[in-house]
Structure 1
Amino acid sequence: MASSAESIRAYSGPPVFSFGFRPFFLFSAVWAAIAVPVWVASMALGDGTVGAMDGRLWHIHEMLFGYLAGVIAGFLLTAVPNWTGRLPVTGLKLAGLFALWAAGRAAGFLPASMGIVGAVIDSAFLVVFAGLIWREVLAAKNARNLPVCLLVTMLAAANIAFHLRGVIPLFGPGAERGAVAVVTGLIALIGGRVTPSFTRNWTAARGIAKGPTAFNLFDAAVLALTGVALVCWVAAPWSPLTGGAMALAGVSNLARLARWRGWLARPEPLVWILHLGYAWLGAGMILLGLSALVPDAVPFTAGVHALTTGAMGVETLAIMTRATRGHTGRPRVADRSTIAIYLLILSAALVRVSAPFLGEWTVILLAVSATLWALAFAGFVLSYGPMLWRRSL
C-alpha cells in the first residue's frame, strides 16, 4: 500500500483537494471573516435576523458549528493519517465532504418555511465527518485517539440539539455550552500535545537542554479535572460548585502551561502563539468560574468569549498558519503578515473580553472586536490562501 506522502504526490486533481487542511482552512477562514460582519450588519442595518434565525443565534451557530467545525475537520483530516498510518481523504471524497460543510453554511440563509430542510442539511456534515473519523481510528486500532472520536461525535450531537431548540427550548443553551465545552476539551487534549511537542522541537534544535516537561500524571489529572468541570458547566453553569471546579481547572491549566516553558521560544511567533492560545483557555475557565461565584463582578459573556474569541480564535489561527507552512513545504518561521494576523486576533480577543466590564463602551468595543476579528481572518486568507490553493513548493 502506498504511503500518505506517495498518495499525495500521485494525486493529479485540483491542488485544493489534495489534502484536508487545504479547503477547510481556507474557506473556514473566509467564512470567519464574512460571518461576523454579516451578523453585525443584521443588527445595525436590518431587523436583527439572518435567514430565518435570530441574528445572535445565527452568529453563535456559525462560529461553533460552521467556522470551528470546518477548522477541526481540516486539522483532523490532516492529523489522523499520521496517527493511524492510513491514507488521507483526497480528491472527490474530500470535495464531497467539503460540499456538505459548504451546504450547511448556505442552509443558514433558507427561509423559515424550509427550516427542517436547512437543519438536516446543516447537521449532515458533522454526522458524516464523525463517522469518518471513527472509521479511520477503529480500522487502525488507534485506541489513544478514541477520545477525539467521542468529542467530534458530541459536537455533532450538539449541533442537532441546537436545531431542536424550537421543539425542546432547553436544548438550545445546552447545545451552545456543549459545543463550547467540546472544543475546549479538544484544545486541552490536542493543544496539550502539540504545544509542548513543537516547543520541545524548537528548543532541542537550538541546544536548549531543559525544554517542556514531559506528559505525566499531573497532565492526566488536569485533563480529568478539565473534563469534569466542563461537564458540570454544561449541566449547571451558575452553580457555585461548578464555579469552583471551573476556576480550579483554569488555574490548573495555567500551571500545566507554565511547565511547557513557552518563554524559551519567545523569538519564534509560530511557537509562542500556541502558548498564548492555551493561556486563553485557562483564563476563560477562571472567568466562567468567577461568573458563577461572583456574578455581579464577572459577566458570564466575558468567560465565554475568553474561550471562543480567545482560546479558540487564537489557537485555530496558530494551528492553521503553522500547518499550512509545514505541509506546503515552507519554512516554519513566521513572516510579518503572520505576526500581524496574530496581533489582530489577540487584540480582538482582549477587546471582546474587556467589553462587558466597560459599561457604556460595550457596544463600541464589540464593533472594534468584530473588525479586528474580520481583519485577522481576511489577513489569513490573503497571506495563506495562495499556499492552500496552489501546489506545494
Structure 2
Amino acid sequence: MHSIDLPSKPPTSPHPILNLSFRIFFSAAALFAVVTMVLWAFVFTGHTAINAQVLNPLYWHGHEMIYGYALAVVAGFLLTAVKTWTGVMMPYGYKLLGIFSCWLLARLSWLAFGLGMTIAGSSVSWLYVGAVFDLLFIGLMAFSVCRAVLQVKQYKQLGILAKLVLLTVGNGLCYWGIVKADMSMTKIGIYLGFYLIIGLVLTIGRRVVPFFIERGLSGINTEGEKQTVTLRNSKAQDIASLLFFLAFFIVDLFYPNKYLLTLTALGVAVVNTVRLVGWYHHGIWQKPLLWSLYVAFLGMCLSFLLYALQPWLGYNHNIAMHGLAITGIGMITVAMMTRVSLGHTGRNIHQPPKMVKYMYGLMVLVFISRVLLPLADMSHYLLWIMVAQSAWIACFVLFCISYLPMLARPRPDGLFG
C-alpha cells in the first residue's frame, strides 16, 4: 500500500504582526527611530541626566542607531529574505516574539540609561542588562539564519552570516569597553558595527536594488507596449567594491593614513558609481520606490568621496561618517522597508502610499542639513543639526502613519505572511 502524506497544517500566529519578522521589526524600528532621535535631541542639548563618565553621549547615540535601529531593520529583512532564498520557514509566532523581546528589552535598557535612570543608585546597571539581551538577540538571529542556510547547503550566504557574527563581536566590544571604562574600545565596537552594516548594505544592495528596478519597470509601459528591463551587473565590480571597502574599513578604523584613506575611499566611490551607471534607467524617476534606492546608493558614493577629500580639505571626519550613515543606513532602510512591506503583505508595489515621496524627500533633507550645509556654513551648525533631527523624526512619523496599519493587519489575499 502507498502511504498518503496529508497536507501539513498551515502556520498560524497569535497576531498578524508576528507572521513574519519584517512586520514586527520594521514597525518597532520606525517607532524606535522617532523615540531615540527625540531623546538624542535632549541628550545633545544637555537636557538629560545621562552619565557621561560611564559612556560618552555620542557613543550612546551611535550605539543605538547601529545596534538598535539598523539591526532591527536587518533582522526584519534577513529573517524574511532567508525564507525566500532557502525555502526554510523562519521563526514566527511566539518564537519570533522571543527574538524581538530580546531586542526590545535591550533598547529599553539603553533608553533608561539615556534618561539618567538608575538601579540601586547606578546607571551603568542598565547597560549590563542591555548587554545580556542585545547579545542574545543577535545570537538568536544569527542562529536562525545559519540553521536555514546549512539546511539547504546555500553556502554562498555564509558571507552574510559572517557579518552577523562580526556584529556580535562588535557589540561585545562596545560592552567590554563600558565594563572596563575604556571608551576607545567602545568606539571601536561602534565603528566596527557601523562599517559592517554598510558592508551588508553593499552586499545585499547589489542583489536587490537592480532586481527591484527590473521588476518595477518591466511590463506594460505608458505607450501600452511590453518592455523588459535588464540592468548590468559585473562580478569584477562586486569583487573590486568588496576589496576597496574592506581596505577602507581597516584603514579608517585601525590604521589612519590620509593617503590610504583617500585611495581606498575613492576606490569604493568610483566602483559603485560605475555600478550605478549600469543600474540606471530613466523610468526610475516615475516611481518613488525605485528612485529612492538609487538616490540612497548615489548618496553613499558621495559620502565615500567626502571621506577621500576630508584629509585634504580639513572638515570634520564625522561629516563624512554621518553622510554615509544617513544614506547607507537611514535612506536605504526607509526605501527598503517601504518596498518590502508592500510586497510581503500582498499589496501592489506599483501603488505605494502617497506619503512615500515625502518620506524620501525628508531623508534627502536630513542629508542636506546634516552634511552639506555644515560644509558651507559651520556658524549655524546647531541649527543644521536640529533641522536634520526634525526631518528624521517627521520621516518616520509619516512611515508609522502609512505603514503600521498594513504591517499589523492580515494580508488582503488571506495568505500567511
TM-score bracket, shorter-length normalisation: over 0.9
Matched-pair contact (CA < 8 Å) for 2:59–2:187: no
1:140 maps to what in 2?
A: 152
TM-score (norm 1): 0.92
Aligned mates of 1:198, 1:17 — CA distance in 2: 25
- Gap regions ≥5 residues in structure 1: none
How does the TM-score come out when normalised to structure 2? 0.87
Contact 1:107 1:119 in 2 (8 A): no
- Aligned residue number for residue 223 of structure 2: none
1:365 aligns to what? 384
Name the structure 2 match of 1:283: 302
Judged with a 3 Å threshold, the aligned counterparts in structure 2 of structure 1 residues 12 and 42 are, in CA distance, closer, same or farther, namely closer
Partner Cα separation in structure 2 for residue 188 and residue 96 of structure 1: 29
Correspondence for 1:321: 338
Q: Distance in 2 between matches of 1:331 and 1:36?
A: 31
The SS at the match of 2:286 is coil
Give the superposition deviation at 1:13.
1.8
Report how far residue 150 of structure 1 moved: 0.7
Work out whether 1:229 is the aligned partner of 2:231: no
| Matched residue SS, 2:276 | helix
Corresponding position of 2:11 = 10
C-alpha distance in 1 between matches for 2:332 and 2:51: 28
Post-superposition Cα deviations, 1:179-228, rounded to whole Å, max 9, x if no partner, equal 12111111111111111111122333244456311343233322332233
> Residue deviations 1:48-101, cap 9 Å, x none?
627964432211111000000000000001100111110121001000000000
The SS at the match of 1:336 is coil
Residue 294 of structure 1 aligns to a residue in which SS? helix
TM-superposed CA distance for 1:337, in Å, is 0.8
Instruction: Report if the CA contact (8 A) 2:237-2:271 is conserved.
Output: no
- How many percent identity over aligned positions? 26
Give the whole-Å Cα distance in 2 for the aligned partners of 1:262 and 1:140: 35
- Which SS does the other structure have where 1:266 is aligned? helix
In structure 2, distance between residues paired with 1:48 and 1:347: 30
Please identify the structure whose Cα radius of gyration is greater.
2
Q: In 2 relative to 1, CA 263–311 (structure 1 residues): closer, same or farther, beyond 3 Å?
A: farther
The 1:355–1:301 alpha-carbon spacing in structure 2 relative to 1, beyond 3 Å, is farther
Structure 2 residue aligned with 1:375: 394
Q: For the Cα contact (< 8 Å) 1:203–1:211, is it kept in 2? A: no
**Aligned partners of 2:219 and 2:228 also within 8 Å:** no
CA distance 1:155–1:170, shift in 2 (3 Å): same
Indicate yes or no: 2:190 matched with 1:173: no
Aligned pairs for 1:96-115 (under 5 A) are 96-108=98-110, 109-110=112-113, 111=118, 112-114=123-125, 115=127
Q: Provide the rounded CA distance (Å) in 1 between the counterparts of 2:124 and 2:161.
A: 34
Contact kept in structure 2, 1:262 and 1:272, CA below 8 Å: no
**Is 1:386 the equivalent of 2:398?**
no
Contact 1:237 1:243 in 2 (8 A): no
Please show how residues 200-239 of structure 1 align to structure 2 within 5 Å. Answer: 200-206=214-220, 207-209=226-228, 211-239=230-258
The CA distance in 2 between the partners of 1:262 and 1:147, in whole Å, is: 30
Count of residue pairs brought into register by the alignment: 388
**Which residue is 2:326 aligned to?**
309
Q: Choose which of 337, 350, 375 in structure 1 pairs with 2:355.
A: 337
- Deviations along 1:108-134, one digit per CA (max 9) or x if unpaired, are 124325143332233321122222222
Change beyond 3 A, Cα 1:195–1:378 = same
3-state DSSP of counterpart to 2:346:
coil
Check whether the contact 1:20–1:73 (CA below 8 A) recurs between aligned residues: yes
The answer to whether the Cα contact below 8 Å between 2:59 and 2:186 also exists between their aligned partners in 1 is no
Aligned equivalents of 1:169 and 1:54: distance in 2?
A: 8
How far the C-alpha of 1:2 sits from its partner, in A, is: 11
Q: CA 1:2 to 1:370, structure 2 compared with 1: closer, same or farther past 3 Å?
A: farther
Q: What pairs with 1:348-359 in structure 2 (closer than 5 Å)?
A: 348-357=366-375, 358-359=377-378
Aligned counterparts of 1:368 and 1:50: Cα–Cα separation in 2: 26
